[in-house]
Amino acid sequence: MSTMIFVNFPVKNVANATDFYEKLGFTKNDDFSDTHASCMVWDENFYIMLLEHAFYQQFLQGKKIADTQKENAVLICFNLESAETVKEFGRLAKVNGGDAYHVDMGMPEEQMYGLEVSDIDGNMLEPMWMKQ
């Protein structure tokens, strides 16, 4: 049995965040989405749940939601099929209001390539490719 990963991100506007992730190539699962949350599917194992702040807050037991425009709590790394696919993911993020940049780790691109990608709320993803 493979493990399904559900990443939960707080977002200010569920509709805008949903639109952003659809433009990156995610698909919305309407069965697990409503006005407070969108279930965004990358593949059968990787999902991102976009939760409006008030809905997200109920899971935190009094902790504050981080201001992800100023701070970072986590980088979600996932594998894509090629360095070019990673670059296209970053390009799509940038043209749709997010950001993307490459951190040089001293690895040749033919061996490994990754980007740091921010969504419109500042949540961070790390699409990467590794030669296997």
Domain ranges, ordered by start, for the chain: 1-60, 72-132
Domains 1-60 and 72-132 fall in the same CATH topology: yes
Token pair 């952003």: residue: 20
Confirm if 117 and 126 have CB atoms less than 8 A apart: yes
Q: Can you give the pTM of this predicted structure? A: 0.92
CATH architecture of 72-132: Roll (3.10)
> Which pLDDT value is given to residue 96?
98
> Which pLDDT value is given to residue 132?
87
Query: Which pLDDT tens digit goes with each residue over 103-117?
Result: 999 999 999 999 999
The DSSP bridge pattern shows strands 99-101 and 116-118 to be: antiparallel
In CATH, 1-60 is 3.40.50.880: no
| Cβ neighbours for 95, distance < 8 A, ≥ 6 positions apart | none
Output the average pLDDT for the chain. 96
